[in-house]
Structures are given as structure tokens and as C-alpha cells.
Structure 1
Amino acid sequence: MLLAFSVAPSGAPSEGSRSDDASVHDAVAAAVRIVRESGLPNRTDSMFTTIEGDWDEVFDVVKRATEAVGRYGSRVSLVIKADIRPGYEGEMTAKLDRLEGALSEGS
């Protein structure tokens, strides 16, 4: 499965958070750190982090990342989009390879 997620705190910053401004980079960094330490294939862009693995391991990482972000506010917003395709691995790059192939064929 490929799972793209975005997680961010909202509400009043919790005690001990490092920032009083509207930026959420410290909270997002806490989530991304958990993703990267998981060992699952992953990619982070400006809007989402995508991870690849089986159902249980992917959702375990999302849960831990969400809990880490929760320390930065009184609420957490979580957006998830999943591509569940049993029997396939390496789709994080394979899907892009197929797209690039289609684009070059159409030139």
C-alpha cells in the first residue's frame, strides 16, 4: 500500500512547544522523523508524506506520527489518501516511472 498523509496541530500550542508563531514546521519535523526512523520507503514533499508498506506497519507509523504532532497543539488534523494494491511493492517509484514513460511516448 502507498499511503500519503498530512498531519498538523491546531489550537493553542501545548506547554513546551518551541514556537509561538503560526508555523508548524517543528510539529511536522517530529512526524517526519518518525516516518524516516520506521525504515519504510518514504518521500516528503511540501504537502504530504508518502510511505509504502503493509496495512499494519503503515498505519502504525501514521498513528505514532500523529501522536507526536499532538504534543504541539490541543487538536490534530490528519488527512490520509491510500492506494491499496495487494501484491505490488516498489510502487512509490514504479508509478512515477510508468507516468514518465507515458509522457515520453506522447511527445
Structure 2
Amino acid sequence: MKLREVKELLNARVLTGEEHLDEDVYVACGCDLMSDVLRYAKEDGILLTGLVNKQVFNTVDMANMHSIVFVRSKVPGEELLEMAEDIDMLIMTTDYPLFESCGILYHNGLKGAIPKNEL
């Protein structure tokens, strides 16, 4: 799935990294617990979260992910958006809650980060 399709499906607004919208994403991780993100996230996946703090950006960067969708209309502050630009990260925000956002993407073919054999 292209990140542009994620944007359209979630009626999301791009905050940084619009130039990445034509890149592919194969898995998503919907999570507010950053230790789980480090455990289960896949490289080049997309994180959906309601947390808006520096640890989210650091975790995503450490996990080699390059995209975040903040749910429930959350918007990071200017300092965090500048940090995202510095590490070349696509940041979007959607009005949908986490559960619905993940459901919409899953229903449209985006897979989860945890393999079924690990559930």
C-alpha cells in the first residue's frame, strides 16, 4: 500500500514528509507502548499512536520506521515536527481513534506487524 493511500483512507493531514507519500508500506503497528513497538515493529512499517512525545520519535527512528500517524487529532509540537523533518520522517494526523484507524487499514489490505504464529 502506498502511504498516499493510508492518508486517503484515514482522511489524514500531512504534517511533515509529504515527499514520501508515494512510498510503499507493508505493515502497520498500532500501539501506545513504545517497548512493544521496539519488540514487534517491522522496518519501514508505519506506527499509529495516540502518544505525542519525544520518545515516540526516538522509538520509531530506532526501529527504522519512517512514518507515524497520530490518531484522535493529536498534533506534535513545533519542536517535535522539526525533529521529524531532521530525520526525514512522514508525520500525519487523523481524527479517527486508534482502533478504527488500524481496522480501516487492515480491511484495505495492510497487514499487522506481529506474525500470526506469534499470537
TM-score of the superposition, structure 1-length normalised? 0.32
TM-score of the superposition, structure 2-length normalised? 0.29
**Greater percentage in strand:** 1
User: Larger RCO: Structure 1 or Structure 2 (Cα < 8 Å, ≥ 6 residues apart)?
Assistant: 1
